[in-house]
């Protein structure tokens, strides 16, 4: 998997949902979108990267969303 591309895609999803007035719902919607739309291998690769290298490259909302993605398995 191309990690820089996955990071870019995740941040683009986050940018779309940042306009929502309800922060908590936006984070849930980001996580839901990633769970529904991304291939499980993509999610696993980015979660592995976050575990190995951290999440500094992700926007704050996407970081929060990936906490939910990780919990959902």
Q: What does the pLDDT profile of the chain (73 residues) look like in tens digits?
A: 899 999 999 999 999 999 999 999 999 999 999 999 999 999 999 999 999 999 999 999 999 999 999 999 7
To the question of pTM greater than 0.85 for the whole model, the response is yes
Distance of CA 18 to the CA centre of its chain: 13
Q: Is 13 exposed, middle or buried (0-12, 13-18, 19+ CB in 10 A)?
A: buried
Predicted pLDDT of residue 1: 83
């Amino acid at each position: 998997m191309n990690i820089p591309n996955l990071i870019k895609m995740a941040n683009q999803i986050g940018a779309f949902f940042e306009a929502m007035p309800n922060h908590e719902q936006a984070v849930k919607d980001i996580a839901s979108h990633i769970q529904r739309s991304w291939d499980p291998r993509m999610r696993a690769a980015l979660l592995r990267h976050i575990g190995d290298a951290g999440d500094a490259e992700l926007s704050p909302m996407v970081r929060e969303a990936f906490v939910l993605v990780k919990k959902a398995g």
